[in-house]
Amino acid sequence: MLQIFQLYVFILAGFVGFVVIQRVPPLLHTPLMSATNAISGISLVGAIVAAGGQYGQVSTILGFIAVVCAATNVVAGFLITDRMLAMFKPQKAANAKEHAEMKGAAK
Amino acid sequence: MLQIFQLYVFILAGFVGFVVIQRVPPLLHTPLMSATNAISGISLVGAIVAAGGQYGQVSTILGFIAVVCAATNVVAGFLITDRMLAMFKPQKAANAKEHAEMKGAAK
Amino acid sequence: MSELGPLSSRDLIIQATYLLASIFFILGLRSLTRPTQARLGMQQAAMGMLFAVIGTLLNAHIVTYQWIIIGLAVGAIIGYPMAMKVPMTAMPQFIAFSHAFGAIAATLVGVVEYRHAFTIDMSGTMTGMSSGIAAAVGFEVLFGALTVTGSFMAFGKLQELIRGQPITFPGQNAFNITLIAVAFLSLGVLIYDPGATWAFYTVLALGFFLGISMVLPIGGGDMPVVISLLNSYAGLAASATGFAIGNNVLIIAGALEGAGGFILSLIMSKAMNRSFANIVFGAFGSAPAASTKEGGPVKEPKTITAEDAATQLAYAGSVVIIPGYGMAVAQAQHTCRELHELIEKKGGKVSYAIHPVAGRMPGHLNVILSEAGIDYGALLTDVDDANRVLLTADVVVIVGANDIVNPDAEDDKSSPLYGMPIFRPWTAKVSFVIKRGKGTGFSGVENPLFTKDNTLMIYGDGKSVIGNLVKEIKALDEGH
Amino acid sequence: MSELGPLSSRDLIIQATYLLASIFFILGLRSLTRPTQARLGMQQAAMGMLFAVIGTLLNAHIVTYQWIIIGLAVGAIIGYPMAMKVPMTAMPQFIAFSHAFGAIAATLVGVVEYRHAFTIDMSGTMTGMSSGIAAAVGFEVLFGALTVTGSFMAFGKLQELIRGQPITFPGQNAFNITLIAVAFLSLGVLIYDPGATWAFYTVLALGFFLGISMVLPIGGGDMPVVISLLNSYAGLAASATGFAIGNNVLIIAGALEGAGGFILSLIMSKAMNRSFANIVFGAFGSAPAASTKEGGPVKEPKTITAEDAATQLAYAGSVVIIPGYGMAVAQAQHTCRELHELIEKKGGKVSYAIHPVAGRMPGHLNVILSEAGIDYGALLTDVDDANRVLLTADVVVIVGANDIVNPDAEDDKSSPLYGMPIFRPWTAKVSFVIKRGKGTGFSGVENPLFTKDNTLMIYGDGKSVIGNLVKEIKALDEGH
Ligand SMILES: NC(=O)c1ccc[n+]([C@@H]2O[C@H](COP(=O)([O-])OP(=O)(O)OC[C@H]3O[C@@H](n4cnc5c(N)ncnc54)[C@H](OP(=O)(O)O)[C@@H]3O)[C@@H](O)[C@H]2O)c1
Ligand SMILES: NC(=O)c1ccc[n+]([C@@H]2O[C@H](COP(=O)([O-])OP(=O)(O)OC[C@H]3O[C@@H](n4cnc5c(N)ncnc54)[C@H](OP(=O)(O)O)[C@@H]3O)[C@@H](O)[C@H]2O)c1
């Protein structure tokens, strides 16, 4: 029963991802790729449990390595995405849009 | 725990509805309203259980009324939506689009 | 009503069916957003419903199928002629009516659930109910009952069985807020003590009462927003049922519907220029009062005869028709199509400017015109696009539209319409306005468009005036 | 690792935190689709991650925080300089590298899970694992391991540590398919008998092996598609982890990522005109071979000196710059911006035509140009739009682009590029092509554009040629 609910969650979330990402403009494809890469660091959640749990020494060591790797992925992934997005300058774009709208609104 | 999963399902489905319906063109607003009305007949599912279950006579009667009402909603809702959508003639619209594309593709 | 635990193979089939149903609902909704796939989408949603029903019929709790089958048959017998006979102009009240039925079912299911949990069964025990389930059932009957009476009220107003005007009394808002507070308090008690039968029935009764007292003070023209919002509430009721009986299809379908209804009311409120709060709180309050602008001497609108109008239409290169609520009232769409074809035969180009809130429900006029077989490629549904086309139009024909072409929406800050995006027929060479008399539109305000220099009125019922235009254009030909 | 049953208040807080995290992920992804909100979206996603970590730290199974904190610190210390130092041109390999790290974590978690379930614990018992959980853990290590080695291979190819050319041997596809079959067979055994340790480690080992053997035969230029697909696989691994440990955040984040990576590879494949199957099956096969078109005598491209080109640019009314992979290689974006500003100062209008697959990852050139401070209002990212602008352009400057302006994509059915949407610089008055020599583009085919009458070549490194143009235009001014 629990697994059926998980399946629902998985399918619904996949659908959300599908619908949302289909609309990403080409302008943002690279940042999006790097953002999803950062999100893949979510295995950090599992890694933390493995490193902190009472699963024996080997597990703690493996867990520790997992935490390091996942944290690297998360930190690097989000930072690079932020660096990239910070470079996108929207100033004139916004102006251009305003212009277009003004033209549309003119009698 | 089960209820938390249900909450996830609810939130995710609501988000799907939100994202998807935001994109409905004005052309389809009325059919959409009547289709969601038909979908609200989903209480039929609960009604069937009430009418067919061993919950005593009063429950069976109430359940029966519920089945009738929900079935009416479902049948009427889908039929009218279909009638409406059958009236939408896309012929020339498709042509117009092709024209636009041909123009775009011309050298 | 499956509980937790290992699954039998029957449960597995049920769950698979439900999953399929959910997927069909989602895909259907998605297809419904594209004109070319909308019909497919509706069929997918119907498939979803079918699977949901099949899955339920397999439920082990069901012992007798007799009443279910009779009930389904009766429902189909009632629903079929209803759907086939209703005219497209009556769509809003039809939806309200059909909607009330679904809400009745949701409410009754809630009552059965509750009664069942607190009735001593054959084995002499009472199953009772957890607080979580009680909360779900409470929400279910509150939103369900509210939707039942609210929908019937909306239906009554639209069908003019009840006075369309807002019915108000002093302190109404305070009264309603008190009712809501009491309803939620009772709901709280019910959650705290699921066995408190009185609390349950209080919630139920207040739900019914709230549906009436919240819709009464709202004007008939605002009903589509109300219906859409009630749609959203019905969705929440269905989701609550899903929480109560542990059924994901109900949760998902309800959530989709809840989100859909909510967004549609938002879209409507935006296009009608009403505030968001106005909508969220059940479209409290009434339609905007007529503006009391005092101007100089009122100019009289100029008129034109059908004959002269016909001549101009016959030689126009580009004609834009702006239909409004009056077109639906007059059922003028078929005659309008004749006019359209006549003009095209004479070499003119005809398009329609369809305002998002023209008529009495969103997209209403699209349906009305489609009914007459006008293909949707000719419909301009974007206000900005339409206004660009109007700039170069030779003749504009306004049929039973009023508020959506009121220049005060742009010019007069004190107008209740101010801020609503409108069409600008006065930018074209000439506009003909077809209406019965000096009646105002839904908002009840005067329209300065009618006294502009290049606006000419043709008074009369929409259908007969357009019929005359058609006749005159044909006569022109014969005269030659 | 919460099991079913009534919730403690600690569990409730954990669950609320997770729910919040999931909502932040979804909202973040949604915001990421809008240029003006993209940065906010990234921050929302980061918040989601933060909440997910906080929720996990509250987990009752955690007994020691020491290694967690050290691990997080070490990760941050490694990640920070990595992200800050990497040049924007190296984005694809950076993503591949960082990605491998996440996959290592997912794989290790799977191993820990499995080991834990089948190790005799202090109380002398073994918890074991249900088939459902075994399936989840099996998928997790299979996809995780595959992503680890696959990402490292992609990194190696892009960083040119490994030969970029497809490395193939006869029967390779059959070999890979056999490997996949064996992996899934072992997975089947594992599900049937979760205690079959050998099956688990076979799945793990084959995962590692498959990552190598599936990426080896793919050319270096195809790596972005591979990376995107590996992204999708990593998402599936994360979702599988979520199924295994009963954590919804993992399921949701994984599903979002899985869908995202999949759609991006689809978009890329479409823009590159590779078949869908090509992508779904791990971009099997190699880059398209060079076309062997035999024509008449090969025309020699005409050249133009930087001085003459500068004169034409200085007096052009409308200039379109088409950057390609070579612009990134030459790091010419900053010089390009100088040129751009010079032309605008002289009264010309400059825009950039950015092809969806220009460069080596989707949207790559947008990032490169943004790095130089060029605002995205000047970027034409739609091929059709750009082609309309090209129709009326005076001068087109093609910098290090090749395949995306190859007319064979439209004219020559035998070309491997045939069907790919391309820019049409030849419809403008004149085009200057800046490249180092006679090198072909990624696809390895000749480009007949270069021998067209109104195409003039300027050979040299992108950065230095543009630098010369800038110098010459400035000299023009001084000459006056
Ligand atoms: N679409 C929606 O979702 C929605 C929902 C709620 C409210 N509304 C509101 O409804 C209004 C819609 O604007 P609208 O321009 O379509 O309609 P309107 O402003 O209500 O005007 C309708 C006009 O049609 C004329 N008319 C009525 N019956 C006629 C007949 N048989 N033949 C010819 N003319 C006839 C009336 O004038 P005479 O009496 O002089 O003939 C009236 O001026 C807006 O104010 C909008 O906010 C819309
Ligand atoms: N964007 C993506 O997602 C993606 C992913 C995978 C594959 N691809 C493929 O990559 C290709 C992209 O097309 P493109 O036009 O951008 O690039 P391209 O076709 O690969 O051409 C690049 C050109 O730049 C020149 N060049 C290289 N270094 C240079 C330098 N330092 N200065 C000046 N010129 C230099 C090269 O010629 P010389 O050697 O003569 O200088 C070459 O002709 C497409 O075939 C696409 O399918 C794209």
Q: Encode chain C in three state secondary structure.
A: CCCCCCCCHHHHHHHHHHHHHHHHHHHHHHHCCCHHHHHHHHHHHHHHHHHHHHHHHCCCCCCCCHHHHHHHHHHHHHHHHHHHHCCHHHHHHHHHHHHHHHHHHHHHHHHHHHHHHCCCCCCCCCCCCCHHHHHHHHHHHHHHHHHHHHHHHHHHHHCCCCCCCCCCCCCHHHHHHHHHHHHHHHHHHHHHCCCCHHHHHHHHHHHHHHHHHHHCCCCHHHHHHHHHHHHHHHHHHHHHHHHHHCCHHHHHHHHHHHHHHHHHHHHHHHHHCCCHHHHHCCCCCCCCCCCCCCCCCCCCCEECCHHHHHHHHHCCCEEEEEECHHHHHHCCHHHHHHHHHHHHHCCCEEEEECCCCCCCCCCHHHHHHHHCCCCHHHEECCHHHHHHHHHCCCEEEEECCCHHHCCHHHHCCCCCCCCCCCCCHHHCCEEEEEECCCCCCCCCCCCHHHHCCCEEEEECCHHHHHHHHHHHHHHHHHHC
C222-231, C341-350, D78-87, D450-459: lowest mean pLDDT where?
C222-231
Catalytic residue among D11, D121, D382, D403: D403
The structural domains of chain B, with segments of one domain joined by +, span 60-88
B83-92, C49-58, C422-431, D461-470: lowest mean pLDDT where?
B83-92
Assess contact for C320 and C393: CB atoms under 8 A: yes
- pLDDT for the residue D164: 65
The answer to whether B98 contacts chain C (CB < 8 Å) is no
Nearest CA in chain C to B25: C33
Q: How does DSSP classify residue A90? A: -
- pLDDT for the residue A90: 59
**From the alpha carbon of D442, which atom of ligand 2 is closest?**
20
Scan for tokens 């867990």, then name that residue: A63
D71-97 pLDDT, tens digit per residue, is 999 999 999 999 998 887 788 889 999
For residue C157, pLDDT over 90 is answered with no
> Can you read off the two tokens belonging to residue C193?
């003590």
Of A2, A13, A19, which has the smallest distance from its Cβ to B20's Cβ?
A19
Assess contact for B66 and C72: CB atoms under 8 A: no
From the candidate CATH numbers 3.40.50.1110, 3.40.50.2300, 3.40.50.1220, 3.40.50.720, the one assigned to the domain spanning D302-479: 3.40.50.1220
Assess contact for D350 and D344: CB atoms under 8 A: yes
**From the alpha carbon of C273, which atom of ligand 1 is closest?**
47
> Are D264 and A66 within 8 A, CB to CB?
no
Interface test with C, best of A12, A20, A22, A102 (most C CBs within 10 A): A12
Strand D318-323 relative to strand C349-353, pairing: unpaired
Catalytic, D477? Answer: no
A86-100, C123-137, C192-206: lowest mean pLDDT where?
A86-100
Nearest CA to ligand 2 atom 35: D326
Alpha carbons B45 and B50: distance in angstroms, whole number: 9
Of B8, B104, B105, which has the smallest distance from its Cβ to D248's Cβ?
B8
Alpha carbons D378 and A92: distance in angstroms, whole number: 8
Q: What value, to the nearest 5°, has the Cα angle with vertex D444 and ends D442 and D450?
A: 95
- pLDDT for the residue C275: 67
Alpha carbons C169 and B71: distance in angstroms, whole number: 38
Q: Which residues line ligand 1 (CB under 6 A)?
A: C 221-222, 224-225, 268, 272, 324-326, 329-330, 357-362, 364, 400-404, 434-443, 461-462
Residue B2: list chain A partners with CB under 8 A: 1, 5
- pLDDT for the residue C480: 56
A70-94 pLDDT, tens digit per residue, is 999 999 999 999 988 888 765 544 4
Q: What value, to the nearest 5°, has the Cα angle with vertex D293 and ends D289 and D297?
A: 140
Tell me the pLDDT band of B106, cut-offs 50, 70 and 90: very low
The answer to whether A4 contacts chain C (CB < 8 Å) is yes
CA distances from C231 to B34, B81, C43, D243 (A): 10, 15, 20, 35
Mean pLDDT of D230-234: 91
Which run of H or of E encompasses A55?
none
In angstroms, what is the span from residue C174 Cα to ligand 2's centroid?
70
How many angstroms away from the CA of A4 is the closest CA of chain D?
A: 10
Residues paired with C23 in a beta bridge: none
Subunits with 3+ C-beta pairs closer than 8 A to D: A, B
> Are C378 and B92 within 8 A, CB to CB?
yes
The answer to whether B89 contacts chain C (CB < 8 Å) is yes
Of B1, B2, B8, which has the smallest distance from its Cβ to A9's Cβ?
B8
C71-115 pLDDT, tens digit per residue, is 999 999 999 999 998 887 788 889 999 989 999 999 999 999 898
List, in order, residues 6 or more apart from D12 with CB less than 8 Å away. Answer: none
How many angstroms away from the CA of A98 is the closest CA of chain D?
A: 12
> Can you read off the two tokens belonging to residue C370?
């489609």
The answer to whether B102 contacts chain D (CB < 8 Å) is no
For residue C368, pLDDT over 80 is answered with yes
Tell me the pLDDT band of C207, cut-offs 50, 70 and 90: very high
3-state class of A100 per DSSP?
helix
Alpha carbons C142 and C204: distance in angstroms, whole number: 6
How many angstroms away from the CA of A27 is the closest CA of chain B?
A: 21
Interface test with A, best of C13, C387, C392 (most A CBs within 10 A): C387
For residue A105, pLDDT over 50 is answered with no
- pLDDT for the residue C277: 64
Interface test with B, best of A15, A21, A23 (most B CBs within 10 A): A15
Of A1, A7, A15, which has the smallest distance from its Cβ to C7's Cβ?
A1
Mutate which of C230, C279, C357, C423 for ligand 1? The one with the most ligand atoms within 8 Å of its CB, which is C357
- pLDDT for the residue B93: 43
C16-45 pLDDT, tens digit per residue, is 999 999 999 999 999 988 888 888 999 999
For residue D137, pLDDT over 90 is answered with yes
Q: Encode chain D in three state secondary structure.
A: CCCCCCCCHHHHHHHHHHHHHHHHHHHHHHHCCCHHHHHHHHHHHHHHHHHHHHHHHCCCCECCCHHHHHHHHHHHHHHHHHHHHCCHHHHHHHHHHHHHHHHHHHHHHHHHHHHHHCCCCCCCCCCCCCHHHHHHHHHHHHHHHHHHHHHHHHHHHHCCCCCCCCCCCCCHHHHHHHHHHHHHHHHHHHHHCCCCHHHHHHHHHHHHHHHHHHHCCCCHHHHHHHHHHHHHHHHHHHHHHHHHHCCHHHHHHHHHHHHHHHHHHHHHHHHHCCCHHHHHCCCCCCCCCCCCCCCCCCCCCEECCHHHHHHHHHCCCEEEEEECHHHHHHCCHHHHHHHHHHHHHCCCEEEEECCCCCCCCCCHHHHHHHHCCCCHHHEECCHHHHHHHHHCCCEEEEECCCHHHCCHHHHCCCCCCCCCCCCCHHHCCEEEEEECCCCCCCCCCCCHHHHCCCEEEEECCHHHHHHHHHHHHHHHHHHC
To the nearest whole percent, how much of chain D has pLDDT over 70? 90
For residue C202, pLDDT over 80 is answered with yes
> Can you read off the two tokens belonging to residue D265?
């590879």
Nearest CA in chain C to B32: C32
Nearest CA to ligand 1 atom 39: C439
- pLDDT for the residue D68: 92
Subunits with 3+ C-beta pairs closer than 8 A to A: B, C, D
A22-26, B35-39, C382-386, D471-475: lowest mean pLDDT where?
A22-26
Of B1, B6, B13, which has the smallest distance from its Cβ to A12's Cβ?
B13
What DSSP line would sit under chain B, residue for residue? -HHHHHHHHHHHHHHHHHHHHTT--GGGHHHHHHHHHHHGGGGHHHHHHHHHSSS-HHHHHHHHHHHHHHHHHHHHHHHHHHHHHHH---HHHHHHHHHHHHHHH--
The structural domains of chain D, with segments of one domain joined by +, span 4-281, 302-479
D287-346 pLDDT, tens digit per residue, is 444 444 455 556 788 999 988 999 999 889 899 999 998 998 888 999 999 999 999 998
Alpha carbons A64 and A50: distance in angstroms, whole number: 8
Assess contact for B30 and C88: CB atoms under 8 A: no
For the annotated catalytic residues of C, the residue numbers are 403
> Are C252 and A15 within 8 A, CB to CB?
no
> Can you read off the two tokens belonging to residue D212?
């190598």
Residue C32: list chain B partners with CB under 8 A: 24, 28, 31-32, 35
Alpha carbons D79 and D127: distance in angstroms, whole number: 36
Alpha carbons B35 and C44: distance in angstroms, whole number: 11
For residue C184, pLDDT over 50 is answered with yes
> Are D5 and B12 within 8 A, CB to CB?
no
The answer to whether B7 contacts chain D (CB < 8 Å) is yes
